[in-house]
Amino acid sequence: MQATSHLTFGIEQNKRQIERTLMKTMTCKQLGGACNMEFHANSFEEITEMSKKHGMEMFQEGDEAHLQAMSKMKELMQAPVTMEKWMEDRRREFEALPDTA
Ligand SMILES: [Zn+2]
């Protein structure tokens, strides 16, 4: 009865996923970073916090790719309008994502 137990397992897993809070996934790169690290959150604020924290960790480690990505972000921040538009674009991107558990 391999097939049956497999099916049951699948249903159990689905249930567990639905019970968990729905999350969206964005990568470090999508959020202006440099790697493919994934962040899972259910709000844009939360996900930017996570990517910021990760960016700081990479910064402390002196990761070259992230340092470069950060200096690009700093340039962006010199122009508040550009930065606002950048954030807005990222938020729209986030909100367009499907909810996954
Ligand atoms: Zn990264």
Per the domain annotation, does 73 fall within a domain? yes
pLDDT-derived band at 80, boundaries 50, 70, 90: confident
Residue with tokens 């996923």: 17
Tokens standing for 14?
A: 């689905």
Residue 98 in this model has a pLDDT that exceeds 80: yes
Q: What is the 42 CA–ligand 1 centroid distance (Å)?
A: 19
Tokens standing for 40?
A: 């899972």
Q: What is the 79 CA–ligand 1 centroid distance (Å)?
A: 23
Range of the domain at 12: 2-96
Q: What is the 80 CA–ligand 1 centroid distance (Å)?
A: 23
| Side-chain half-sphere exposure of 44, counting CA atoms within 13 A | 13
The pLDDT value recorded for residue 17 is: 55
21-74 pLDDT per residue, tens: 689 999 999 999 999 999 999 999 999 999 999 999 999 999 999 999 999 989
Q: What is the 81 CA–ligand 1 centroid distance (Å)?
A: 25
3-25 pLDDT per residue, tens: 455 555 666 666 555 556 689 99
Q: What is the 29 CA–ligand 1 centroid distance (Å)?
A: 7
The pLDDT value recorded for residue 27 is: 97
Per the domain annotation, does 101 fall within a domain? no
The pLDDT value recorded for residue 52 is: 95
The total of structural domains in the chain comes to 1
